[in-house]
Amino acid sequence: MRLMEEKILQEGQVLPGGILKVGSFLNQQIDTRFLAQMGREIARLYAGEGVSKIMTIEASGIAIAAAAGMAMQVPMVFAKKHKTSNVDGAVYSSTVHSFTHNTDYHIVVSRNYLRPGDRILLVDDFLANGHALRGLMELIRQAGAELVGVAAAIEKGFQGGGDGLRTQGVRVESLAIIDRMDDNGILFRRQ
Ligand code: 5GP
């Protein structure tokens, strides 16, 4: 999505440690018109795949996942983050390593909202090492639901998470893939 690349070039800030800040349009302030465009683009990419539900993790994935859900006219469910693994039997749960905070946390989703037979599209703002998405995939596995694919607003290709999933046969669509990012600028992968 050329528009995403332009937006990153115009408004993104490259921070030390391989972090891209997009607080002006996705992570704190949200450019709502652009968000709707992102949702429509994800809907276009996964049209005809029989997606029955969108899934993400709170908090930063919620906006884009909701936009995709609205465009596809399907519900969106987000996994909640828990500090402890002490959760009751009414939920599916797994552990995720956070790249941005360098800690582990637990994610849970109510068994009521994830069912066998659901065809799930995972959506997130960033795809870096892929830990967040792998945690969600574990919840899908526990529920006996089916993974249709992944859509990320921004993939940091240099961290390898997206290509790792592709190698495993998972369909991964990213609205922009950054292959290199440093003081000299940002290099996008041609898709
Ligand atoms: P992963 O689990 O793929 O390593 O990281 C994905 C999660 O970490 C995303 O949900 C996102 O919240 C956060 N994240 C990873 N890299 C970045 C980044 O460069 N910028 C921002 N704002 N968030 C990031």
CA distance 28 to 26: 6
List, for residues 88-99, the tens digit of each pLDDT value.
789 999 999 987
Which pLDDT does position 82 carry in this prediction?
Answer: 87
Query: Is the CB of 129 within 6 Å of ligand 1?
Result: yes
In Å, how far are 119, 126, 164 from 183, measured between CA atoms?
A: 41, 20, 27
Q: Which of the two residues, 84 and 48, has the higher pLDDT score? A: 48
Q: Is the per-residue pLDDT at 6 higher than 80? A: yes
Residue 96 CA to residue 74 CA, distance in Å, equals: 26
Quickly list DSSP for 71-138.
HHT--EEEEEEESSS---TTEEEEEEEETTTTEEEEEEEEGGGS-TT-EEEEEEEEESSSHHHHHHHH
> What is the best residue among 22, 64, 95, 99 to mutate for testing ligand 1's pocket, by most ligand atoms within 8 Å of CB?
99
- Give per-residue pLDDT as tens, 150-175: 999 999 999 999 999 999 999 999 99
CA quadruple 38, 42, 43, 46: dihedral, nearest 10: 170
pLDDT digits (tens, 9 = 90+) for 41-68: 999 999 999 999 999 999 999 999 999 9
What does the DSSP 8-state code read for residue 42? H
pLDDT confidence bin for 100, thresholds 50/70/90: confident
- Give me the pLDDT at residue 120, please: 98
On average, the pLDDT of the chain sits at 95
The pTM (predicted TM-score) of the whole model is 0.97
Domain ranges across the chain: 2-188
Distance 124 CA to ligand 1 centre (A): 9
> What is residue 85's predicted lDDT score, i.e. its pLDDT?
75
Ligand 1 center to 157 CA (angstroms): 12
pLDDT of residue 89: 81
41 and 23 Cβ atoms separated by less than 8 Å? no
Sheet containing 53-57: which strands, arranged edge to edge?
Answer: 91-98, 103-110, 76-82, 53-57, 119-127, 146-156, 172-182, 185-188
CATH class of 2-188: alpha beta
